[in-house]
Structure 1
Amino acid sequence: MTNILRKLWVPVMTLMAITGMGQMPIFKRYYIADIPGLAWLGQPFTVHWVHYIGAAVLMFMIAWFTTLWLAKQRKLTASGKLRIMLLALLIITGYVRVIKNLPDVHFSPTSTMLIDWTHLLFAILLGVAAIWSAQTGRKDYVIK
């Protein structure tokens, strides 16, 4: 199971990045949704729910890896600590965005913008940290 989840990590994160960008109407605006097979990216409701489903899968994967990490009591690498911190901040801001989207919850426009921008910022920083870790050979989260 762990090997399957490790192989799914990059595709799930890629799906989250694509559907996250799809929350902004860029795919229809720049005609990416006109490419055969990508029309679903131009449907905001579909993109929104695919992002939520991807988040649920991601939460399961994180829970699985966290349980294994706690059971084995391994130490984290420096790049692992950085990426986990960024992922935690991304998740927290994602949860706040979910709360913001509930029908009876209302945030001010400034708060909404701040939540959206911080979520986007942490997503970008996590992507940069992941690429940096891969390019410098620091792929592992834990010391083996």
Structure 2
Amino acid sequence: MKMKILRQSLSNRIVHWVSAISILMLIITGFGQMPLYGRYLVVQPPGTRWLTSYEITLYMHYIFAAVLLFIIFYHLAYHFLRKEFHILPKKGDLKASFEIIKAMILRRPEPASEKYLPEQRLAYAYFAFAIAMVVITGIFKVIKNIQGVNVSNSLILWGAQLHNLATMLIILGIIMHLAAFAFKANRKMLSGMFTGYVNKEYVQERHSIWYHELEGQEEKKEN
């Protein structure tokens, strides 16, 4: 087997980075509509004055919302058609995540894992829930602005509050996602999100179940 193993396909990397950029811009433009920047940004860096314009931030918000919707539908269709469901949570993932984190802290050998660690599958479910929530409430916020559509004040209030809550959940998820790289073992996954490849030794050590599956697939090809 080669010294490098393909962990993240080009499709996965595109989905990851397009989603990340879209969500980041949605957060930035969303705060701009409150409007926070015009009130509290005393010193404005060059090229950021557009953040104080409600019209511009709203327009940009819609653009990146459309990009995020497109990449979500592409992601779901791509993996559904290919029947690739490795990232979906499994029974026992919560307990297994605790055991892996405990092993990293105590510097002990980790339990054998598949292509994705249990905590990665749980993180995926968390982001899926938060993003679905922000998308649904965001669509509601757009519909209520359509001329001729009458929505009660209570629904408008609840829609806005849930949209803000979903945004906070996503921000919290991003913080936890980045904090995971405080553990040295997790940093070896970073190359996979840029080049797609990770070291063979890393896979053998941390994703031994997946590694044996790959070995089996190579043996079938050779035979």
User: TM range, normalised to the smaller chain?
Assistant: 0.7 to 0.9
For 2:84, the equivalent position in structure 1 comes to 73
Select the structure that is richer in helix: 1
Task: Indicate which of 84, 99, 104 corresponds to 2:128.
Answer: 84
Give the C-alpha shift of residue 61 in structure 1: 1.0
Matches within 5 A, 1:1-144: 2=11, 3-31=13-41, 34-70=44-80, 71-75=82-86, 76=88, 77-136=121-180
1:60 is matched by which residue type in structure 2? F
Change (3 A) 1:133 1:34: closer
Q: For the Cα contact (< 8 Å) 1:33–1:41, is it kept in 2?
A: no
Alpha-carbon distance between aligned partners in 2 of 1:32 and 1:59, rounded to the nearest angstrom:
34
Alpha-carbon distance between aligned partners in 1 of 2:154 and 2:39, rounded to the nearest angstrom:
25
Q: Aligned Cα RMSD in Å?
A: 2.4
Alpha-carbon distance between aligned partners in 2 of 1:131 and 1:36, rounded to the nearest angstrom:
27
Alpha-carbon distance between aligned partners in 1 of 2:14 and 2:124, rounded to the nearest angstrom:
20
Name structure 2 gaps, 5 residues minimum: 1-9, 89-120, 190-206, 211-223
Q: Residues 45-82 of structure 1, C-alpha deviation per residue, up to 9 Å, x if partnerless?
A: 11101000000000111112112221233131122112
Over alpha carbons, which structure has the higher Rg? Answer: 2
Change (3 A) 1:113 1:63: same
Name structure 1 gaps, 5 residues minimum: none
The alignment-based identity, stated in percent, is 28
Aligned residue-pair number: 141
Give the C-alpha shift of residue 33 in structure 1: 8.1
Q: For the Cα contact (< 8 Å) 1:15–1:54, is it kept in 2?
A: yes
TM-score, scaled relative to structure 2? 0.57
Task: Name which of structure 1's ranges 61-70 and 46-55 shifts more when overlaid on structure 2.
Answer: 61-70
TM-score, scaled relative to structure 1? 0.84
Q: For the Cα contact (< 8 Å) 2:144–2:151, is it kept in 1?
A: yes
